[in-house]
Amino acid sequence: MPLQSYAKPAYKKAQRAITLEYIRSFKESSCCELCGESATVCLDFHHRTASEKSFSLSDAKDQTFDAIKAEIRKCAVVCANCHRVIHSQNRIKAIEVAPEEDYPLFTGLDNGFDE
């Protein structure tokens, strides 16, 4: 009896490629909503409201393209550094794009480079 093949069907591979290209192009036209970082490899999606999260975009391989687009609409684009700060400061609540003085994300953080 031959072994069963577990290779992904061609349409699944094509769907995954389309999804990854969409996410890549979305990030290329975006920047961090908090600090302005625009390097695509540094950008993450952060769910504005955790309770509305249907799935993680990093594990969206079995989701439809429409579901992925809908999930992205629930997210803020933030760089990896700001994303880590958000979570470390328990700022999982909704992020509203606001002027820097209205969103004191980095208040009290000393990066050692000032002065």
Q: Which residue segment(s) compose the domain that 81 sits in?
A: 32-97
Inside any domain, residue 63? yes
- If one compares 76 and 12, the residue with the highest pLDDT of the two is 76
Is 93's pLDDT higher than 90? no
Reported residue count of the chain is 115
Q: For the chain, what is the mean pLDDT? A: 77
Which residues pair with residue 20 across a beta bridge? none
Q: Per the confidence metrics, is the pTM higher than 0.75?
A: no
6-35 confidence digits (pLDDT tens): 666 787 788 888 888 888 999 999 999 999
Inside any domain, residue 114? no
- If one compares 41 and 86, the residue with the highest pLDDT of the two is 41
Q: Read off the pLDDT of each residue in 52-64 and give the average, rounded to a whole number.
A: 84
Q: How many domains does the chain fold into?
A: 1
